[in-house]
């Protein structure tokens, strides 16, 4: 059975509240486990889990903590597929040439805003492609029979309509070729770093372009990331104790005077929670979190006054006098970076290993809390 993409909720998709689905007299045949729902939909269990986590399938938890899905919602989805653009996750899958996996891991795809998964064997690639499609797929040696078959399969699969598919082969021309908006051919070279840089340059040149070029760099995935920020439903909401506790913990764990949970919109840095700083938002061009967005990983700026591109940032002057920043990504269930858990100090400094681990752990806990809030919002 062809895998169905549900998209976001629409009017004709039955929605069940927690109260209705947890009624004592609800017939057990009307509810499904995640595994059973996946079987009926013709998708992997992991894909069904992602749809549930992102709010695309209604569900609730039993008192024992088991996830349950209304059968009616699944059947309605099968009978009335939603004509929407396929959902993608903030990942790049690289089907590397033989012996090139580690070099791809070292090079990565900087500034695209994607988490990178690399493998050389077909079975691993197939298992990754069976889940929610990634934003980007790179297939080296695409002119070889086995790999060419993979390209042909995914190009014909409507699930990958929003996935950029890159074919790389030694015989291709040196100049990258872009066709159809999201189909790319590049020359496979001995230098993985050079090949990756060429691809990044091409994709960034064709990526999201704001009406006015900003003073800061934005990732290639920015348009999808901004959609994820809006769909999180967090911007503009009231303070919550659960988030406040995590931010206070970050300040305590790093002995920092300022800590925040930031959400980065197109034009501003908005604080869901903060300690040691007045105000609920700043212009985005003030945000050190732009550096974390581009790196897409835990980022430390030990002395802001020596950082190229930050000389005009108002927060380095009085009354702020900021000199140190560290930020760990907070992600939605599909991997898009919404913002960060960050700490700031008024003097240059370093973080030790324990402080770094604490920051990443707190950011992961914040990401889990974001997921829970998303599920709660869709169930009320």
User: What average pLDDT does this structure show over 85-105?
Assistant: 94
Q: Tens digit of pLDDT for each residue in 259-315?
A: 999 999 999 999 999 999 999 999 999 999 999 999 999 999 999 999 988 888 999
Q: What is residue 160's predicted lDDT score, i.e. its pLDDT?
A: 94
Please, which pLDDT band fits residue 46 given cuts at 50, 70 and 90? low
Cβ within 8 Å of residue 31, ≥6 positions away = 21, 68, 69, 70, 71
Choice between 215 and 93, residue whose per-residue pLDDT is larger: 93
DSSP state of 75: H
**Residue carrying the six token digits 């899905």:** 69
CATH of domain 18-79: 1.10.1660.10
Is the peptide bond preceding residue 331 cis, with omega within 30 degrees of 0?
Answer: no
**Residue carrying the six token digits 């749809």:** 51
Residue 89 reports pLDDT greater than 90? yes
DSSP, residue by residue, 130-175: TSSPEEEEEEETTTSHHHHHHHHHHHH-GGGTTSEEEEEETTS-SS
**What stretch(es) of the chain map to CATH 3.40.50.2300?**
89-205
**Residue carrying the six token digits 């959400």:** 263
Which range among 61-75, 87-101, 195-209 shows the weakest confidence by mean pLDDT?
A: 61-75
Please, which pLDDT band fits residue 12 given cuts at 50, 70 and 90? very low
Please, which pLDDT band fits residue 11 given cuts at 50, 70 and 90? very low
Residue 9 reports pLDDT greater than 60? no
Cβ within 8 Å of residue 308, ≥6 positions away = none
Please return the burial class of 255, using the count of CB atoms within 10 Å of its CB with bins 0-12, 13-18 and 19+: exposed
Residue 189 reports pLDDT greater than 90? yes
Please, which pLDDT band fits residue 378 given cuts at 50, 70 and 90? low
Whether 237 and 249 have beta carbons less than 8 Å apart is answered as: no
Question: Cα separation of 297 and 337, whole Å?
Answer: 9
Please, which pLDDT band fits residue 2 given cuts at 50, 70 and 90? very low
Residue 55 reports pLDDT greater than 80? no
CA angle in degrees (0–180, nearest 5) for 201-202-208: 95
Question: Cα separation of 118 and 121, whole Å?
Answer: 10
**What stretch(es) of the chain map to CATH 1.10.1660.10?**
18-79
Q: What is residue 15's predicted lDDT score, i.e. its pLDDT?
A: 31
Question: Cα separation of 379 and 55, whole Å?
Answer: 9
Question: Cα separation of 226 and 321, whole Å?
Answer: 30
Residue 39 reports pLDDT greater than 50? yes
**Closest C-alpha to 113, from 310, 368, 290, 302:** 290
Whether 86 and 133 have beta carbons less than 8 Å apart is answered as: yes
Torsion of CA 368, 374, 376, 380, to 10 degrees: 180
Domain 222-378 has CATH 1.20.1630.10: no
**What stretch(es) of the chain map to CATH 3.30.450.40?**
222-378
| CA neighbours closer than 13 Å in the CB half-sphere of residue 2 | 14
Model confidence pTM above 0.75 = yes
DSSP three-state, residue 22: coil
Domain spanning 89-205: which superfamily? Response regulator (3.40.50.2300)
- Write b or e for each residue in 324-333: b if 16 or more Cβ atoms lie within 10 A of its Cβ, otherwise e: bbbbbbbbbb
User: What average pLDDT does this structure show over 234-256?
Assistant: 97
Please, which pLDDT band fits residue 72 given cuts at 50, 70 and 90? confident
DSSP, residue by residue, 205-231: HTS---SS--SS---TTHHHHHHHHHH
């Amino acid at each position: 059975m062809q895998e169905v993409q549900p998209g976001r909720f629409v009017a004709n998709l039955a929605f069940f509240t927690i109260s209705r689905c947890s009624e004592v007299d609800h017939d057990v045949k009307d509810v499904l486990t995640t595994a059973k729902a996946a079987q009926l939909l013709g998708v992997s269990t992991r894909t069904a889990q992602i749809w549930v986590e992102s709010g695309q399938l209604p569900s609730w938890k039993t008192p024992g903590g088991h996830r349950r899905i209304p059968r009616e919602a699944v059947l309605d989805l099968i009978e009335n597929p939603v004509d929407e653009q396929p959902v993608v996750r903030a990942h790049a899958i690289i089907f590397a040439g033989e012996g090139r996996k580690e070099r791809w891991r070292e090079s990565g795809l900087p500034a695209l805003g994607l988490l990178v998964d690399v493998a050389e064997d077909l079975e691993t690639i197939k298992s990754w492609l069976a889940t929610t499609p990634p934003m980007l797929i790179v297939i080296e040696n695409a002119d070889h029979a086995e790999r060419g078959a993979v390209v042909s399969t995914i190009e014909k699969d409507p699930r990958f309509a929003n996935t950029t598919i890159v074919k790389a082969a030694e015989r291709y021309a040196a100049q990258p070729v872009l066709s159809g908006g999201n189909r790319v051919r590049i020359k496979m070279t001995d230098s993985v770093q050079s090949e990756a840089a060429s691809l990044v340059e091409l994709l960034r040149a064709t990526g999201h372009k704001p009406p006015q070029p900003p003073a800061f760099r934005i990732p290639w995935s920015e348009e999808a990331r901004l959609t994820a920020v809006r769909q999180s439903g967090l911007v503009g909401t009231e303070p919550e104790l659960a988030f406040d506790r995590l931010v206070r913990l970050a300040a305590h764990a790093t002995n920092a005077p300022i800590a925040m949970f930031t959400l980065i919109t197109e034009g501003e840095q908005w604080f869901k929670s903060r300690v040691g700083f007045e105000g609920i938002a700043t212009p985005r061009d003030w945000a050190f979190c732009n550096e974390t967005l581009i790196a897409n990983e835990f980022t430390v700026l030990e002395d802001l006054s020596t950082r190229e591109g930050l000389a005009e940032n108002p927060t380095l002057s009085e009354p702020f006098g900021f000199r140190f920043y560290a930020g760990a990504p907070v992600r939605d269930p599909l991997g898009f970076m919404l913002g960060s858990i960050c700490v700031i100090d008024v003097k240059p400094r370093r973080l030790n290993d324990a402080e770094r681990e604490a920051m990443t752990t707190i950011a992961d806990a914040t990401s889990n809390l974001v997921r829970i809030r998303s599920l709660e919002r869709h169930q009320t």
